[in-house]
């Protein structure tokens, strides 16, 4: 609950988060035969990223490839996106598709304020996701938030990328300088939210050895299931996940003594 107390009063707050995965086509060091010891060079396939409080689909794919390579020793590259050679060079002869993400509706557990009778000057919104989800592709969620246009505030849908994010912040109207809130009334609202996400597609990899030469193979992303973290396989090539978090909206408005303004729902 301490994290719930994130303050939106710090204007100009910048969210420093990396978007998506860093590598689309991941080159592997060739693994030695069992019993041989080879020193791994710097920059190998191990990732330094802390995964203790996240669901990382890319890292789960990397772990699966490493596990298979301990037996076969001939996997030279792998990928899950259209940039990978399996799709780029059209080796997907059976119609295998790269991974894609589809987000369902954004669901808040309570109704927020109807501010239509207020003289609103500024609205700040924050989405906080305790257990972030990291995917090779964007996870675009449609949310409806107040937007300032032509001197008025209206609820409008916008698409936010929830991929690899613990926090997202949006402010309207957008200004390069710190907004002035002195003399304005403030009302903060918080709700819990959920978003259902499905991941469809395949993980492809290339093998290269003297006997068979270079060949491509693929497996469904369902193999990347992690029940303990809520990543559930529903088909061999489909995963289901629920993004859970907190949404906070702070509304600043100008109060007039002769006008009764009702903040009740």
Q: What distance in Å separates the CA atoms of residue 3 and residue 61, rounded to the nearest whole number? A: 30
Please indicate, yes or no, if residue 5 is contained in any of the structural domains.
no
Please indicate, yes or no, if residue 17 is contained in any of the structural domains.
no
Q: What distance in Å separates the CA atoms of residue 185 and residue 66, rounded to the nearest whole number? A: 56
Please indicate, yes or no, if residue 14 is contained in any of the structural domains.
no
Please indicate, yes or no, if residue 261 is contained in any of the structural domains.
no
Please state the domain count of the chain.
1
Q: What distance in Å separates the CA atoms of residue 181 and residue 179, rounded to the nearest whole number? A: 6
Please indicate, yes or no, if residue 262 is contained in any of the structural domains.
no
Q: What distance in Å separates the CA atoms of residue 129 and residue 248, rounded to the nearest whole number? A: 12
Please indicate, yes or no, if residue 19 is contained in any of the structural domains.
no
pTM to 2 decimals? 0.76
Please indicate, yes or no, if residue 18 is contained in any of the structural domains.
no
Please indicate, yes or no, if residue 226 is contained in any of the structural domains.
yes
Contact 206, 215 (CB under 8 A): yes
pLDDT (tens, 9 = 90+) of the chain, 265 residues, equals 333 333 333 233 223 222 333 332 343 332 322 222 222 222 233 344 555 689 999 999 999 999 999 998 999 999 999 999 999 999 999 999 999 999 999 999 998 878 777 888 889 999 999 999 999 999 999 999 988 877 788 889 999 999 999 999 999 887 766 777 787 888 899 999 999 999 999 999 999 988 888 999 999 999 999 999 999 999 999 999 999 999 999 988 888 764 444 554 4
Residue 208 structural domain: 25-35+43-254
């Amino acid at each position: 609950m301490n994290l719930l107390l994130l303050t939106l009063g710090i204007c100009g707050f910048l969210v420093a988060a990396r978007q998506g995965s860093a590598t689309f086509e991941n080159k592997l060091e060739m693994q030695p035969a069992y019993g041989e010891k080879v020193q791994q060079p710097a920059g190998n396939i191990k990732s330094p990223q802390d995964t203790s409080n996240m669901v990382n689909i890319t890292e789960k794919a990397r772990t699966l490839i490493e596990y298979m390579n301990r037996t076969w020793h001939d996997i030279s590259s792998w990928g899950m996106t259209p940039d990978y050679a399996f799709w780029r060079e059209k080796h997907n002869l059976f119609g295998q598709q790269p991974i894609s993400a589809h987000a369902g509706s954004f669901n808040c557990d309570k109704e927020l304020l109807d501010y239509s009778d207020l003289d609103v000057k500024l609205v700040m919104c924050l989405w906080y996701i305790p257990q972030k989800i990291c995917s090779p592709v964007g996870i675009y969620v449609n949310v409806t938030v107040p937007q300032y246009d032509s001197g008025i505030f209206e609820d409008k849908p916008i698409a936010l990328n929830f991929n690899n994010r613990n926090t997202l912040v949006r402010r309207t109207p957008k200004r390069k300088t710190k907004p002035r809130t002195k003399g304005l009334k403030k009302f903060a609202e918080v709700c819990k939210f959920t978003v259902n996400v499905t991941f469809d597609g395949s993980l492809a990899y290339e093998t290269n050895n003297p006997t068979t030469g270079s060949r491509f193979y693929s497996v469904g992303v369902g193999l990347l299931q992690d029940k303990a973290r809520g990543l559930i396989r529903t088909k061999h090539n489909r995963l289901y996940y629920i993004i859970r978090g907190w949404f906070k909206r702070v509304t600043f408005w100008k109060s007039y003594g002769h006008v009764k303004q009702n903040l009740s729902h």
